[in-house]
Amino acid sequence: MVKGKGVSKGIGIGHTKVLKNEEVKLTDFKVEDKENELSYFKKCLNNVIEDTREVLEKLSGTEADIMNAYLMILQDPTLTEETERLIQEDGYNAGYAAKVGFETVEEVFKNMDDEYMSARASDIEDMKNKVINKIINKAELDLSNLPEKTILVGKDLSTSDTAKLNLNSVAGIIIENGSENSHVSIMARTHEIPAIVGAKGALDSIANDMYIAINGGTGEIFLDPSQDEVAKLEKIQNELKDEKGSLAKFRNKKSITKDGYKTEVVANIGTPKDMDAVIENGAEGVGLFRSEFLYMDSDTMPTEEEQFEAYKEVLEKSEGKRVIVRTLDIGGDKDLKYLNLEKEDNPFLGYRAIRICLREPEIFKVQLRALYRASIYGKLAIMLPMISSVDELRAAKDIINEVKEELKAEKVKFDKNVKVGIMIEIPSAAIMADELAKECDFFSIGTNDLIQYTVAVERGNERISDLYTKFHPAVIRLIKMAIDGAHKSKIFCGMCGEAAADERFIPLLVGLGLDEFSMNPTKILNSRKMIRNLNHKECKKLVQEILRMSSASEIKARLEEYKDNL
C-alpha cells in the first residue's frame, strides 16, 4: 500500500488522472529577424499574464494571494532580462531563449540562503513552462473537464493548475511533494476535498485511469480496493456526510460553552464575493477582511472611491455584524509592481505592511479615508498588521486622527466610534501585549506569522515543515501573553490564523480565554459545534496541564487525546 500524510479529511473513491510533466525538447537556432522574435516572445508573455489574470478573477483568500504573487513575478522585468538579451543580442529563437533565461533566474533563487526565496524557484519553473507552451503552441493541461470522481495524482499541483479545476469532479488529490501548509493542502481543506501529500513513489505505483480509494484523514491509499475495503470506506464517508449534515442546526446558534462561556466564531474573507459563504455558514461577523485584493488586482494604485465601494458592499451585507478590515498588508510574499519596492534578501523581515504605510502615509491615508467613509454602512473595525512596538501603534493612530480631522473639515459623514486594533503576529507584540492593549481597542492573533517568527521556520518550506508547529510551547505562551494582556485592559482578543479552526487547538484556546475565533467560512459550523460541546472550567484545567509541558510533540499528543475523548 502506498501511503502519505493525510491533510484534508474525507474519503475519495474513483479513477485516477495521473499528471506527469512531459519535458519539452527545445532546439537552439538563430533567427534572422531578432526584433520580430522579441515581439513574439513579449506577446506570448503577455498572453500568459492575461491568462493568469483571468484565473485570478475566480479566486479568493489564500489561493488569490498565491496567484497574485505569480502575477507580480511575471510582470517583474528582472524575470525576462536574460531571455530578451539572448534574443536581441545573440539572436536565439524565443523558445530556447526563454528556457535558458528563466532557468538562469530559477538557479539564482535556488541558491539563495533565505528559505522562502529559494522555495520560489518552483514558481519560476511553473511560469517558464507556461511561457514556453505559449511559444511553441503546446496545449495547456486542461483540468476543467475531468470525469466525475477523478482522483488527481501528481508530483505537485501549482496554484495555476488547481485554479482551473472543476472541483465538483475531483474526488481526491494525491501528490508526492507538499506539506500540511502547502497551497494544495490549504486549497483541499478549503473546498473539502480529500487530499494526501508526501506520497513518495505514488507516480511509480499508480497508473492512469486506475481504480483507487483514499482516506484523506489517515493518508491511506488503496490500489484496486476490494469490495470489503470499499464498503468500510463508504461507511466512513457516510458518517462524515451525516456529520456535515448535522452541522446545519448550529447555523443560528450562539458560540457558547456548556457552562456559559461566550465566544464568537467569525469569518476570514478576501473579497466582497466571499460574503455569500459568510452568510451561508452563520458567521457572527468578519474577523479578517484582507484588503490586499484591491491593490493586487490592479496595475495602478486603487482609488479612494474604488476602495470605498468594496468596503461599503461588505459592511452592507454584514447586516450590522462587526467587520474587521486589515489595512494594507503587502511586502513579504506580496509585491506590487507599481510601488517599485526594492528586492530584499529577507522580505518577511523587511519593508512590509504597517512599515510601508507609516513611511508612505499618502497610500495609508487613501485607504483610511475610504474605510471611514464606508463606516456609516455597518459596524466597522480597523486592524493594523505587523505592529511590533508601541511607537508604531502611536504613529499609525496619529495618521488615523489626521484623516478623521480632514473628513470633519470636509463635512464628510463617518462613524466616530470605529474600533482600532492590531494583529499580534510578531513575538515582540505578544511580549508587550499588556502595554499595547492600553492604546488600542482589540487584538487579533495571526498565528501563521507568529509561529514562523517564533520558531524561525518559513511555513511553506517542505524540508523543515515539521518544525513549523502551533504546538510549540513558546508559541502557546506567546498566545497566552496576548490574551492576558488584552483582558488586563478589558479589550477583546481574537485569532485569525489557521490555528483558530483546528479541533485539537480549540479547547486550549477556550481555556486560555480567547474571545473570537476567525476562520475560513467552511470551518465555522464545526468549530461552533465543538465550542458548544466544551466545558470552560475543564478547558482551563487543560491549559494548566499544557503549560507545564516543554515538548511540542507531548503537547500535540495530549491535545489530540483530549479532542478524541470529547
Other Cβ atoms less than 10 A from the Cβ of 78: the count is: 10
Q: List Cβ neighbours of 345 (8 Å cut-off, separation of 6 or more).
A: 112, 113, 114, 117
Residue 192 pLDDT level (bands cut at 50, 70, 90): confident
* SS3 at position 7: strand
Range of the domain at 110: 34-135
CATH number of the domain to which 190 belongs: 3.50.30.10
Q: Per mean pLDDT, which range of 75-79, 138-142, 206-210, 442-446 is the poorest?
A: 138-142
Domain membership of residue 245 (yes or no) is no
Residue 461 and residue 540 in one domain: yes
Same domain for 261 and 128: no
pLDDT at position 312 is 97
Answer whether residue 541 is part of any domain: yes
Please check whether residue 241 lies inside any domain of the structure.
no
* Catalytic entry in 183, 357, 493, 536: 183
320 and 269 share a domain?
A: yes
- Of 80, 104, 135, the position where a domain reaches its end is 135
540 and 445 within one domain:
yes
In terms of domains, do 177 and 212 share one?
yes
Residues 123-144 have a mean pLDDT of 83
Does 173 share its domain with 269? no
**Domain CATH code at residue 385:** 3.20.20.60
Per-residue confidence at 243, pLDDT binned at 50, 70, 90? confident
Please tell me the distance from the alpha carbon of residue 5 to that of residue 466, in angstroms, as a whole number: 12
pLDDT of 115: 46
> Are residues 542 and 457 part of one domain?
yes
| CA–CA distance, 83 with 134 (Å, rounded to integer) | 15
Give the mean pLDDT of 92-117. 77
Domain tally, the chain: 3
d(CA 313, CA 87): 48
Tell me: the pLDDT tens digits for 318-335?
999 999 999 998 764 555
The answer as to whether 240 is a domain residue is no
Output the pLDDT for position 309. Answer: 96
Q: Is residue 89 scored above 90 in pLDDT?
A: yes
- Which residue in the block uniquely carries the three cell numbers 457552562? 259
- Provide the grid cell at 188: 483541499
pLDDT at 151 over 90: yes
211 close to 224: Cβ distance less than 8 angstroms: yes
Q: Which range is most confident: 138-147, 157-166, 171-180?
A: 171-180
> What confidence score (pLDDT) does residue 244 get?
80
Q: How far is CA 542 from the centre of its chain?
A: 30
Name the average pLDDT for the chain. 89
Mapping DSSP to helix (H, G, I), strand (E, B) and coil, where does residue 281 land?
coil
pLDDT score at 116: 46
Confidence at residue 294, expressed as pLDDT on a 0 to 100 scale: 83
Domain C-terminal end among 135, 155, 172: 135
- Residue 197 DSSP one-character state: E
Measure the N-to-C terminal CA separation of the chain; round to a whole number of Å. Answer: 32
Q: Are residues 156 and 127 in the same domain?
A: no
The Cα–Cα gap between 317 and 471 comes to 36
**pLDDT tops 80 at residue 501:** yes
Instruction: Tell me what the mean pLDDT of segment 377-404 comes to.
Output: 97
Dist. CA 268–CA 201, nearest whole Å:
36
Q: Which residue has the cell 476562520?
A: 519
- On the CB side of 191, CA atoms within 13 Å amount to 23
CB under 8 Å to 96, separation ≥6 — which residues?
26, 27, 28, 29, 86
Least confident of 185-199, 209-223, 277-291, 379-393: 185-199
The answer to whether the predicted template modeling score (pTM) of the entire model surpasses 0.85 is no
Give rounded-to-5 percent helix, strand, coil for the chain. 50, 15, 35
Collapsing DSSP to helix, strand or coil, 191 comes out as: coil
**C-alpha–C-alpha distance, residues 121 and 273, integer Å:** 32
Tens-digit pLDDT profile for residues 42-67: 999 999 988 888 877 776 665 666 67
357 noted as active-site residue:
no
Residue 381 lies in a domain: yes
Q: Rounded mean pLDDT of 90-116?
A: 79
> If residue 557 lies in a helix (H) or strand (E), which one and from where to where?
helix 552-564
Q: What is the DSSP string of 366-430?
A: HHHHHHHHHGGGSEEEEEE-S--SHHHHHHHHHHHHHHHHHHHHTT----TT-EEEEEE-SHHHH
pLDDT at 251: 92
Lowest mean pLDDT among 73-87, 423-437, 438-452: 73-87
pLDDT at 245 over 50: yes
**How far from 281 is each of 8, 274, 511, 541, CA to CA, in Å?**
19, 11, 25, 31
Name the residue with cell 484588503.
291
Residue 236 covered by a domain: no
Residues 353 and 401 in one domain: yes
Q: CATH number of the domain at 56, please.
A: 1.10.274.10
Of 357, 440, 493, 496, which is the active-site residue? 496
One domain for residues 455 and 376 = yes
Cα–Cα dist 237/192, whole Å? 12
C-alpha dihedral (528, 532, 537, 539), degrees to nearest 10: -40
239 or 466: whose pLDDT is higher? 239
172 and 150 part of one domain: yes
Residue 189 pLDDT greater than 50, yes or no = yes
Rounded-to-integer distance, Cα 455 and Cα 71, Å: 30
Is 183 assigned a catalytic role? yes
Query: 370 falls in which pLDDT band (50, 70, 90)?
Result: very high
Is 217 a residue whose pLDDT tops 80? Answer: yes
Same domain? 413 vs 507? yes
- Within a domain: 413: yes
User: Higher pLDDT residue, 112 or 103?
Assistant: 103
Average pLDDT of 398-405? 97
Domain final position from 97, 112, 135: 135
Whether residue 235 lies inside any domain: the answer is no
Q: For residues 297-311, give the mean pLDDT.
A: 87
Bridge partners for 92 per DSSP: 30
